[in-house]
Structure 1
Amino acid sequence: MDRRVLFASLILFAGGATGVGVALFAFVGVDDATIDAEVVWESEPVAGDDGSGAVVATMDGDPLVLQPTVEDGTRTIRATEAGGGVEWRRAVGGSDTADDGDGTDPPATSALVTGELGGDEVVAFTTESGSLVVLDPTDGSERFAVDLGRPGGFPPAIGDLDGDGDAEIAAVTTDGTVRAVDAAGEPVFETDLDAPVERRPLAIDFDDSEGDIARGLAVATAVDGERSITLLGATGEAQWTTTPSVTPLSWNAADTRSGPVLALGGANGNLETIDVADGESRYEVGLQDLPVTVGDADPGRVYVGGSGSVWAVDLLDGEVVWKQQYGGDTRVNAPGVADVDGDGTPGPVVVNRNGGVLALNQNGEAIARGTVGGAVVYAGPLFADVTGDGSAEVLVVTESGRIVALSD
């Protein structure tokens, strides 16, 4: 077969679930013309995180990979530069985080997040003991820390929650307290949802020339198995609360021509979208009968990983635009989006649990594939131009904390 795309009319049914969409899509094949990606550099393994906590930041325009680690019994944030050298380390919580010899692990941190506060890039996280910490990614210095008063451990969210042009940062505690602060760490609001939090919060922050897009902070909670999603406004008041049809194991915020949505990856293999404007479910579409993971979105569509497959789903109507099978029945982690071939058009990139990497264009055609070699990977891909060629390389952080950079 001399074409990359095999179009087959397939109808996807969702096991009789009420309100579940029926989708017509194109199955996309991987052929032998796909370019094999090569390992550009890799770092040494490091303990303390399974790879899912890492992010990319910049220092004087050069990329850094930041990871939560444990070094000499101390919880540490580590910055690795292109080539594998360590640029800086920052102990979390000072000496009281050190292992005192009784075998107790140092307090955990959440996954890291990056964003812009007050015009500067920052990296932020929460601690299990209940602090929100914001660092300067160029040197690891502390910008500010906020006592949440209760146990933390979920990644914070950074975004312009009120549409005034300045970003805020919001953190949640495990028992449902939500606290937002401004770029200086000063309080913006505090709200108690009186329910355990289940997922990282999502900042709803999309540019809109009309100024009428709903903004705020989405928080997922659960009480006695009853799951809810609440959108908080600029002062912490609840705009709406809804009960999703799926049990969300992952979620993300995305924009559409009809306004922003929350895309939920269900334990039953369904994707559901919730309208940010009013909390109503737009649609639910069945993808497979195993859990699926929501990844990044580009204009109008979101990419979803599952068991041996990745889907591109139209966010407006739930139509599955294409499905790509990859790696047998190995789980595919949350897809990312980047321009990895330098053509100016970003496309999805996926990494599966066996360390297989597949880069696709927007039509679902494979443009590059590679592997990190016999490693377990729980995280989605990261991206940075580590070679200076003007296009993004794919960075994979393995379960052992090893960073592998691949380029086509």
Structure 2
Amino acid sequence: MDRRVLFATLILLAGGATGVGVALFAFVGVDDATTETTIVWESEPAAGDDGSGAAIATVDGDPLLLRPAVENGSRVVSATVVGTDETAWTVPISGPDADRGGGANGSDDDPIGVSGLTTGTLGGDPVVALTTAPGSLVVVDATDGSRRFAVDTGGPGGFRPAIGDLTGDGSQEVAAAATDGSVRVVDREGDAVAEASLSGEVNHRPLIVEPDAEAGERGGLAVLTTAGDPATVHLLDGRGETRWTTTPSVNPLSWNAADSQNGPVIALGGSNGNLETIETSDGSLRYEIGLQDEPVAVGDADPGRVYVGGSGSVWAVSLLDGEVVWKQQYGASTRINEPRIGDVDGDGDIGPVAANRNGEILAMTRSGSVVARGGPDVVVYGGPLFADVADDAGDEVIVVADDGTAIAVDT
């Protein structure tokens, strides 16, 4: 059957919310010709995480799967050579030995022993960072697991740290936010760059918005707290001073930073199904748009648009004006985790990939056409990861089940 593209007008309303948009979008149907996926690798389980804490790091051109885990009663980070059963290294992490709590997508309501993992580079070296519940920011070398530093976050931890160039000087920093509103930014040696103490409790990971000197755009560190109704977004500068604060309209369950033609924005996914974007220049509202009546998860962005997952649907939304470029449905009403982008067919073009809570994967082009659909029958709480497992032109999609088992799917 040929793919059918159905055009429909969707009136997007949120009861009484100011600035909620109306959009014309293309509904892209999934047809019988969709390429099925093939499982090409499955790792051993890794107890101690619900699957949402894993990350991929590239070391000397080879991908490593990094997972927080519990081994022999100790909290560890374990690195597995993707596509094999080989453990490259395992490093113990200070903190409670109890299994990582947190429900779907690392729920903020339950205590956790360690956060999910963040990968990046410091001084040109690949690293992995996390925070612990007692209040430490820990950074280890992704090459061999050696510890680079561990510093006090100033309060209880548990949220993924951020790695990026906060100051625009070409060097990467690591930022961590404690649950009590304490914020710490350190350089590649672990030395303090900035500190802050914010009102309210932190309930999401911090975001580094990198500056763009050529465009005259300043960067900042975005931190979300429970101060305000329903929350407050704080944007801090490179010294930890507050540039602005704003109260979003939505009750944010997820968020991400993204670039657009008119400068960077912060995108928030609301519990009411609305997507809201905030200007990083001054904290003003760019737009709010209703997508559905169920909570939505903000995922990755590529130039000009952000991808959002909800109940049975994935949206591509213009960052410029909130127009819904396309909507793709799959998996009935099953929750879809935050979509991410990768090159799964090796043509050099990135496209969105989503995984729902039942482990079903949907790989798409930027136009919303389906590249592949399928996957393992497992419970998945995190977004997809990407690595070249089959040693072919493109990356395979990796989902991590709730028991820590990583499964690579060839699309």
* TM-score, length-scaled by structure 2: 0.94
Match of 2:233 among 209, 225, 229: 229
CA contact (8 A) 2:167 2:211 kept: no
User: 5+ unaligned residues in a row in structure 1: which ranges?
Assistant: 100-105
Match of 1:102 in 2: none
Match of 1:285 in 2: 289
Correspondence list, 1:7-406, <5 A: 7-85=7-85, 86-93=87-94, 108-205=113-210, 207-210=212-215, 212-223=216-227, 226-373=230-377, 375-406=378-409
User: 5+ unaligned residues in a row in structure 2: which ranges?
Assistant: 99-110
Aligned-partner SS, 2:47 = coil
CA contact (8 A) 2:230 2:249 kept: no
Distance 1:4 1:143, change over 3 A: farther
Q: Deviations over 1:139-180 (max 9, x none)?
A: 111011112232111111111111111111111111001111
Aligned-partner SS, 1:196 = coil
Q: Shift of the alpha carbon at 1:387?
A: 1.8
Q: Shift of the alpha carbon at 1:225?
A: 5.1
CA contact (8 A) 2:181 2:201 kept: yes
Whole-angstrom CA distance in 2 between matches of 1:227 and 1:43: 39
Q: Give the letter for the 1:180 counterpart.
A: V
Q: Deviations over 1:323-355 (max 9, x none)?
A: 001100000000010111112211100000011
Q: Shift of the alpha carbon at 1:390?
A: 2.6
Q: Shift of the alpha carbon at 1:372?
A: 1.2
Whole-angstrom CA distance in 2 between matches of 1:75 and 1:267: 33
Q: Shift of the alpha carbon at 1:68?
A: 0.4
Whole-angstrom CA distance in 2 between matches of 1:351 and 1:114: 21
CA contact (8 A) 2:12 2:20 kept: no
Aligned-partner SS, 1:198 = coil
Distance 1:305 1:18, change over 3 A: same
Q: Shift of the alpha carbon at 1:15?
A: 3.4
Distance 1:107 1:245, change over 3 A: closer
CA contact (8 A) 1:5 1:365 kept: no
Q: Shift of the alpha carbon at 1:209?
A: 2.5
Whole-angstrom CA distance in 2 between matches of 1:9 and 1:174: 42
Q: Deviations over 1:344-395 (max 9, x none)?
A: 211100000011101000111111112112x111010000112221311100
Aligned-partner SS, 1:8 = strand
Q: Give the letter for the 2:81 counterpart.
A: E
Runs of 4+ that moved beyond 6 A: none
Aligned-partner SS, 1:368 = strand
Q: Shift of the alpha carbon at 1:13?
A: 2.9
Distance 1:168 1:62, change over 3 A: same
CA contact (8 A) 2:264 2:279 kept: yes
Could you tell me the percent identity over the aligned residues? 62
Q: Give the letter for the 1:10 counterpart.
A: L
Whole-angstrom CA distance in 1 between matches of 2:370 and 2:399: 18
CA contact (8 A) 2:59 2:126 kept: no
Q: Deviations over 1:259-315 (max 9, x none)?
A: 000000000000000000000010000000010000000000000000000000000
Q: Give the letter for the 2:302 counterpart.
A: D
CA contact (8 A) 2:212 2:218 kept: no
Q: Shift of the alpha carbon at 1:12?
A: 2.8
Q: Shift of the alpha carbon at 1:34?
A: 1.0
* TM-score, length-scaled by structure 1: 0.94
Whole-angstrom CA distance in 2 between matches of 1:98 and 1:304: 35
Q: What root-mean-square deviation, in Å, do the aligned CA atoms of Structure 1 and Structure 2 show?
A: 1.6
Q: Give the letter for the 2:19 counterpart.
A: G
Whole-angstrom CA distance in 2 between matches of 1:19 and 1:9: 18
Whole-angstrom CA distance in 1 between matches of 2:351 and 2:53: 23
Whole-angstrom CA distance in 2 between matches of 1:391 and 1:151: 40
CA contact (8 A) 1:335 1:349 kept: yes
Distance 1:5 1:174, change over 3 A: same
Whole-angstrom CA distance in 1 between matches of 2:393 and 2:6: 32
Whole-angstrom CA distance in 1 between matches of 2:295 and 2:211: 28
Aligned-partner SS, 1:21 = coil
Q: Give the letter for the 2:364 counterpart.
A: L
Q: Give the letter for the 1:392 counterpart.
A: D
Match of 2:104 in 1: none
Match of 2:103 in 1: none
Q: Shift of the alpha carbon at 1:8?
A: 2.7
Aligned-partner SS, 2:267 = strand
